[in-house]
């Protein structure tokens, strides 16, 4: 059975998480989680990509329906990709199981006061 959701991880320079969320919202993402992070790229990587690595990063996690994943990844590439001031990368991973993303059917709810 195909997974219904995908986790998009986007790592950008500090201060660009709003740009990530704006781009993702345009294609149907409802929300995300931002985590402060620190990059560890070496000088060889900086020379290879011809960029300067800013150590302060933000990692944005978005759980989205699989059918909008590609649109969001393309939007992130244009808004905060390596050729932008955000110097971001983004990738997706399948989500095996998820809870809390949709309201369960009423028949699945258990009432605590029911005897």
Residue 16 belongs to a domain with what CATH number? 3.30.70.120
Compute and round to an integer the Cα radius of gyration of the chain. 18
Q: Report d(CA 27, CA 78) in Å as an integer.
A: 13
% of the chain beyond a pLDDT of 70? 81
Q: Which residue has the higher pLDDT, 69 or 100?
A: 69
Domain that holds residue 37: 5-97
Taking the whole predicted model, whether its pTM rises above 0.85 is answered as: no
Q: Report d(CA 1, CA 115) in Å as an integer.
A: 37
Q: How many domains does the chain have?
A: 1
Residue 114 above 80 pLDDT? no
Q: Is residue 106 part of a domain?
A: no
Q: Is residue 113 part of a domain?
A: no
105 Cβ contact list (under 8 Å, min separation 6):
none
Q: Is residue 105 part of a domain?
A: no
Residue in the block written with tokens 């005897």: 115
Q: Is residue 83 part of a domain?
A: yes
Q: Is residue 114 part of a domain?
A: no
């Amino acid at each position: 059975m195909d997974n219904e959701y995908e986790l998009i991880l986007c790592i950008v320079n500090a201060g660009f998480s709003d740009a990530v969320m704006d781009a993702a919202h345009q294609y149907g993402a409802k929300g995300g989680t931002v985590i402060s992070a620190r990059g560890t790229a070496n000088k060889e990587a900086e020379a290879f990509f011809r960029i300067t690595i800013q150590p302060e990063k933000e990692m944005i996690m978005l759980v989205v329906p699989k059918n909008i994943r590609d649109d969001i990844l393309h939007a992130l590439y244009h808004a905060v990709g390596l050729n932008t001031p955000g110097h971001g990368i983004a990738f997706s991973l399948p989500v095996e199981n998820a809870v809390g993303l949709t309201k369960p059917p009423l028949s699945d709810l258990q009432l605590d006061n029911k005897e």
